[in-house]
Structure 1
Amino acid sequence: MKIQQIDIFAIHLPLIEPFIISYATYDTMPSIILKVTTDTGIVGYGEAVPDEHVTGETWESTYEVLKNHLAPVVIGESPMAFEKLHDKMNKIVKDVPAAKAAIDIACFDIAGKALGVPVYQLLGGRYHEKFPITHVLSIGTPEAMAEEAAKRVEMGYRSFKMKVGTEVTRDVARIKAVRERVGEDIAIRVDVNQGWGNAATTLQGLRVMKDLNIDWLEQPVNSEDIDGMVEIKSKSDVTLMIDEGLCGVREMREIIAKRAADKVNIKLMKCGGIYPAMKLAVMAEMAGIECQVGSMVESSVGSAAGFHVAFSKKIMTSVELTGPLKFSKDVGNLHYDVPFICLNEQPGLGVDVDEAVIQELCQFSAVVTA
């Protein structure tokens, strides 16, 4: 079985409401959907959701690098030779993890379909039966965030990921408002998205929010500041998660060596797909560091890929793949039983892709063949 053709679709996924984080506001989510066809007729789908602030890739550059560099180099290769595929992609262009993730995910979808098994069976089998879904609160006024949290509690959610990262005093007011509204039994995770900049500012914030009982604090400092994470961890008893500071093996080695975090947020778009994500998970497991599979707000395609990784590993203790719940229209049908996610038993990613929706949302496209 060989890769015969790759169709590339640059789309905009429509959000129900704007997604606001410390460094950007999204009215739609730019995504690249791949359709990979083999010479046996099996079709697999992949997705790239780049972020110039995190992966160093733009939507436009990802489309171009896939069309002109990565897709041509994997044409004619076996979609099941994951190590070889990544080696070829890494030799042709450095980094660009979201672009590589699109090809990686599509190939795992093909492999699962060819063997008649879900992707998680290719990764060691299913360990978790279900995961609770955490609702993500975009940055807003304290009152608005508290009101949305209260509504979500009524829907059954038991945990929130609060986006903050503007100014510490205002962020603490947001966290206090949500905590007072939802009570002490609801889990609150705080994601700063690098917005507090450095360890000193972060420690100031932690001192004034010490009684708010947060589950963990995620990426408060600049992504390159591993030593800042070490300082925060040494001076605080709040669980510390690293996100933007972890892309691949190089960063994971430094995090482990310096004990820079209690928990790491592995994202397929940051590391290059399912195959590299499993390598990072094994490294973290050996070091005794808990893992989460996080989201770049992918469609059902990319989100399902992340869930297969999460469901297959014991060290994965949380997931935040809620992209499909935020879209007014999606290209696939990943099913959520809010506030839980339970994967199906279908081969591959287990997602039915609607090509009519892809065409409707498509801004431009390309076909790469032998």
Structure 2
Amino acid sequence: MKITEIEVFAIRLPLYEPFVISYASYSDMPSIIVKMTTDTGHVGYGEAVADDHVTGESWEGTFAVLRHTLAPILLGENPSRFGKIHEVMDQAIYGVPTAKAALDMACFDVVGKIYGIPAYDLLGGRYHEKFPVTHVLSIASPEHMAQEAAERVALGYSSLKMKVGTNAVEDVKRIQAVRERVGKETAIRVDVNQGWVNSSTTLQAMKQLESCELDWLEQPVKADDIDAMVEIKSKIATPLMVDEGLRGVREMREIIAKRAADKVNIKLMKCGGMYPAMKLAHMAEMAGMECQVGSMVESSIGSAAGFHVAFSQKAMTSVELTGPLKFSKDVGNLHYDVPFIELNEKPGLGIDVDEQALEELTVRKEKVSL
């Protein structure tokens, strides 16, 4: 089998309401979809959701890299040779993990379809049966976040992820308000997205939040400040998770060596796709660290790819892939049994792509072929 054609679609996914985090507010989500065709006539899809603040990639730049650098060099390659595919991409261009992730996913999707097996069987087989879905709260006033949290708990959600990081003093009020509204039975995870910047601000905030009994604290300081994470971990009882500070193997080595976190958030857009994510999960498992697969708010395509990684790896204890629940129109049909997600046994990523919706959401598209 070999890759004969790759199409690249720049799209914008409409959100039900703006998604607000510490460093940005999104009225819609810019994404890039790749469609890979092989000489057997099978088609696979992948997705790239770039984030300038996390990997240094932009929507426009990722489209260009895919169209002019990565897609052309994969023509003629065997998509089932996952390690070789990554070697070819890495030799062509340094970094750009989001662009590489899209092609990596498409390879897993098309190969799974060719062999008639789910993508998780290409990653070692299914380990987990289902995961609870966590609702993500965008940054808003304490009252608004508390009200939304209560509404979601009433719908059956057992865990909430709070986005904070604009101001530590206000963030404490937000977290306290949500905890007071939902009670102690609901798990609350706090994601600062680097917004508290340093260890001193973080430790001051966490001292005020001791009674809130948080499930974990995620990436409170700047991504590259692993030493600050070490200090925070040594001084708080709340489990500490690294997110933006983990991109690939180099950072994972340092995190493990310095015991800088209790948990790691693996995102396909940060590490380069499903194959690299599997390797990071293996490293974490050997170090006795728990993992979750997180999201850059991808469509059904990218979210399904993340779920296949999560369901196949023992070290995965949580998932936060809720993009499809936030979109008023999606390009795929990933199904959630809220408050749980259970994958089907269809081949590849296990979703059907709506070609008409893809066309309607497309801003720009280009194609390369043999």
TM-score by length of 2: 1.00
The reply to whether residue 279 of structure 1 matches residue 291 of structure 2 is no
How far residue 106 of structure 1 moved from its aligned partner, in angstroms, is 0.2
* Residue 38 (structure 1) aligned with residue 53 (structure 2): no
Match of 1:355 in 2: 355
Deviations 1:228-282 (A, max 9, x none): 0000001111100000000000000000000000000000000000000001000
One-letter amino acid of the structure 2 residue matched with residue 349 of structure 1: L
Equivalent residue for 1:178?
Answer: 178
2:93 aligns with 93
Q: Output one character per residue of 1:98-153: Cα deviation in whole Å (capped at 9) or x when no partner.
A: 00000000000011101111001111111111000000000000000000011101
1:113 alignment partner in structure 2: 113
Deviations 1:146-169 (A, max 9, x none): 000111011110100000001111
What count of residue pairs does the alignment treat as equivalent?
Answer: 370
Structure 1: distance between partners of 2:334 and 2:235: 41
Q: In structure 2, how many angstroms separate the alpha carbons of the residues matched to 1:249 and 1:124?
A: 20
Alignment deviations for residues 319-357 of structure 1 (CA, whole Å, 9 cap, x no partner): 000000000000000000000000001000000000111
1:281-317 Cα distance to aligned partner (Å, 9 max, x none): 0011100010000000000000000000000111100
CA distance in 1 between counterparts of 2:202 and 2:31 reads 32
Q: What letter matches 1:249 in structure 2? A: V
Partner residue in 2 for 1:290:
290
For 1:91 and 1:121, the matched residues in 2 are separated by 28
DSSP-derived class of the 1:143 partner? helix
SS in 1 for 2:37: strand
Matched, 1:141 2:133: no
SS for the counterpart of 2:210 is: coil
Match for residue 192 of structure 1? 192
CA distance in 2, matches of 1:368, 1:154: 49
Deviation of 1:30 after TM superposition, in Å, equals 0.5
Gaps of 5+ in 1: none
Residue 53 of structure 1: how far off its partner (Å)? 0.3
Tell me what 1:203 maps to.
203
- What is the rounded CA distance, in whole Å, between the counterparts of 1:167 and 1:338 in structure 2? 32
Letter in 1 for 2:30: P
Match of 1:67 in 2: 67
Q: Distance in 1 between matches of 2:78 and 2:29?
A: 31
Report the Cα distance in structure 1 between the residues aligned to 2:332 and 2:362, rounded to whole angstroms: 14
The CA distance in 2 between the partners of 1:7 and 1:39, in whole Å, is 15
User: Counterpart of 1:94 in structure 2: which amino acid?
Assistant: Y
Structure 1: which amino acid aligns with 2:125?
A: G
Per-residue CA deviation, residues 200-223 of structure 1 (Å, 9 max, x unaligned), is 100000001110010000000000
2:176 corresponds to which letter in structure 1?
Answer: K
Q: Secondary structure at the match of 1:36?
A: strand
> In percent, how many aligned pairs have the same letter?
70
Give the distance between the partners of 2:119 and 2:31, measured in 1 at CA.
22
Give the equivalent residue in structure 2 for 1:366. 366
Q: In the alignment, residue 260 of structure 2 is paired with which amino acid? A: A
* TM-score, length-scaled by structure 1: 1.00
> What displacement does 1:72 show?
0.5
- Partners of 2:257 and 2:314 in 1: how far apart? 22
Counterpart for residue 155 of structure 1:
155
What SS is found at the alignment partner of 2:57? Answer: coil
Q: Which runs of 4+ in 1 moved over 6 A?
A: none
Task: Output aligned runs, 1:227-238, within 5 Å.
Answer: 227-238=227-238
User: 1:194, CA displacement in angstroms?
Assistant: 0.1
Tell me the alpha carbon deviations over residues 6-49 of structure 1, each in whole angstroms, 9 at most, x when there is no partner.
Answer: 00000000000000000000000000000000011000000000
Question: How far is 1:197 from its partner?
Answer: 0.1
Helix, strand or coil for the counterpart of 1:57?
Answer: coil
User: What secondary structure does 2:28 align onto?
Assistant: strand
Give the AA of the match of 1:180: E
Q: Distance in 2 between matches of 1:46 and 1:148?
A: 32
Does structure 1 residue 310 correspond to structure 2 residue 310? yes
* Residue identity in the other structure for 2:312: S
